[in-house]
Amino acid sequence: MRDMQVLIDIPKDTKAELQKEKTLEEKLEILSDAAKYDVACTSSGVDRAGKKGYLGNSCASGVCHTFAADGRCVSLLKILMTNHCEYDCKYCKNRKSNDVERATFTPDEICRLTIEFYKRNYIEGLFLSSGVLKNPDYTMEKIIEALRMLRGTYKFNGYIHVKAIPGASKELIYSAGLLADRISINMELPTQDSLSKLAPNKHMANIIRPMNQISGTIAMHRLAVGKSARMERAGINDHLMNSIWGKEADRIGTDATDRANRLLPGLQKDTDSFLFPADKKDLNLGRAFAPAGQSTQMIIGATNETDLELIRTTQNLYKSFDLKRVFYSGYIPVNEDDALPEPGTPVPLLREHRLYQADWLLRYYGFFADELLSEEHPFFDDAIDPKCNWALNHLELFPIEINTASYDMLLRVPGIGPNGVKKIVNARRYTKVDFEMLKQMRITLKRAQYFITCNGKMLYKIPLEHRFIRNRLMDVDSVEIADVGGQSVQYKQMNLFSDFNMSCTG
């Protein structure tokens, strides 16, 4: 007997699993803990009414159901199917060489959790990702099995976000997209160099190629039902003369493929959309392919990319592949490795916050990446937000008159957002807008006052001078910066010697 055990070489972790089947509680704890580093937890992008006999609907604005202790929204049941992984990405907690507790959900367990949580209004749907079990195709097949059961047997009509495993076959990714609402492939790192340094099993080609194919297939499905090839964007973009979605944006299917080719030579051989699903029945469900679009995620602070590179990559992804969102994930040191920041390094929360602010400027405010940063200043200012920074560097354009300024210019004033602009333009049709009205409209005058006039007058008599305004804006921003880290601003008594550089010599 003893000899038998020596002969059969069972890996250590499998052996442990064999000894004791884990309970659903244990599995949920392990696999949600393993999934928490994925950022995307949005349930937005598609409106779908409920129907009798089915469970669930979907709301384009997204619904958050709770907020975890880190302040992040929980909208979906975010879990991994398994945290067993064949890959050894250095930044990842579930990498092959790490000795962590492993578990795997059965498709039925995933379905029951989703359905029961959904009925209690805990979640809006399912976010399903996975470690690479055996190989990408096998993993993808298992994921699809769970999704088919959820949509078919359990008649679930809510939101599903599924991760495509890089390297899985086309047919499998097509099937996954037909079953889910959003499909995403994590880019993780924006260049091939960083990727080969930190994720030796991943290749840029395996990420860009499916991304291109997914965007082509989404466009194909949209055109087939009489929609435009590109996804819908925030309504404000319709009013802008120029934005990254405007006239200059590439048309999907023609120029986008060229651009993808330039990014990655050798892509030409592939067609730019999927043609056959893994199972013909998936097409008969009558669902569009990924109606809520695709998204991706990049890790911030594990390698030495500049903010400019990141934001340029983001813009390119939006333009070429029509991605719905690009997420940033501040790197949290979980592994010890020479190529990585040391454990205990603080999470770059402020940097992540600034990148998201810039991302919003691209998607809602008509800004372009190269307006926000330049080769000389490739990083965002810590003390002041990107929009204020842009306005300070273009003081020659300000102040603008609220009652006559264009949509584009109003949106570029710090303190005025898309909603504020809509309110101002609406009010302008009936009356002259004054500062009292702006206050009522909840326009942030503590930022906007330096850049606007109402009926020819500014709110206070102030010099339009770079250093003066910058100091004032830094004061306003300090509150926001403290909020990012979950702290409060510490105020102190001003001191002539330290604050005004006076000395008492002689």
Partner 1 sequence: MYIFSCKPRWEDMLTCIYEASASKMGHTNIKLVLEPIEQYSLLDQYIHVDSDLKKAECVMKSIREKISPQVYRELAYASMAYEEEILDLIYRVLLVGFSYGPDVLNMVMYREIMQFNQIRRRLGREVNHFQEFVRFHEVQKGLYVAHIEPKSRLVVALGPIFADRMPSEHFMIIDDIHKEALIHPKDEMYYLKPLNDSEYEQLLKTEEMNDTYTDLWKIFFESIAIRERANKKCQTSLFPLWTRKHAVEFMETSHN
Which residues sit at the interface with partner 1, rule CB under 8 A? Answer: 24-25, 28-29, 32-33, 35-37, 49-57, 63-74, 77-78, 113, 116-117, 119-122, 330, 332, 347, 349, 423, 426-427, 429-431, 437, 440-441, 483, 485-488
Q: Which is nearer to partner 1, 73 or 400 (CB)?
A: 73
The amino acid present at 205, given as its one-letter code, is A
Q: What is the nearest approach in angstroms of partner 1 to the Cβ of residue 414?
A: 22
Q: What is the nearest approach in angstroms of partner 1 to the Cβ of residue 95?
A: 18
For 101, other C-beta atoms within 10 Å of its C-beta total 14
Q: Which is nearer to partner 1, 293 or 330 (CB)?
A: 330
Integer angstrom CA distances of residue 58 from 46, 85, 273: 6, 32, 26
Q: Which is nearer to partner 1, 210 or 348 (CB)?
A: 348
Q: What is the nearest approach in angstroms of partner 1 to the Cβ of residue 488?
A: 8
Cα 237–chain centre separation: 19
In order, the DSSP letters of 309-368 are HHHHHHHHHHHHH--SEEEEEE----S--TTSPPTTPPP-HHHHHHHHHHHHHHHHS---
Minimal CA–CA distance to 418: which of 231, 233, 227? 233
Under 8 Å between Cβ of 109 and 194: no
Q: What is the nearest approach in angstroms of partner 1 to the Cβ of residue 370?
A: 31
Cα 80–chain centre separation: 18
Overall size of the chain counted in residues? 506
Q: What is the nearest approach in angstroms of partner 1 to the Cβ of residue 369?
A: 26
Q: What is the nearest approach in angstroms of partner 1 to the Cβ of residue 62?
A: 10
User: 445: exposed, middle or buried (C-beta count within 10 Å: 0-12, 13-18, 19+)?
Assistant: middle
> E-strand spans in 137-177?
159-163
Q: Which is nearer to partner 1, 129 or 316 (CB)?
A: 129
Q: Which is nearer to partner 1, 173 or 402 (CB)?
A: 402
Q: What is the nearest approach in angstroms of partner 1 to the Cβ of residue 162?
A: 18
For 268, other C-beta atoms within 10 Å of its C-beta total 12
Q: Which is nearer to partner 1, 120 or 467 (CB)?
A: 120
Q: What is the nearest approach in angstroms of partner 1 to the Cβ of residue 28?
A: 6
Q: Which is nearer to partner 1, 228 or 426 (CB)?
A: 426
Q: Which is nearer to partner 1, 392 or 454 (CB)?
A: 454
Residue with tokens 């499909």: 183
Under 8 Å between Cβ of 95 and 89: yes
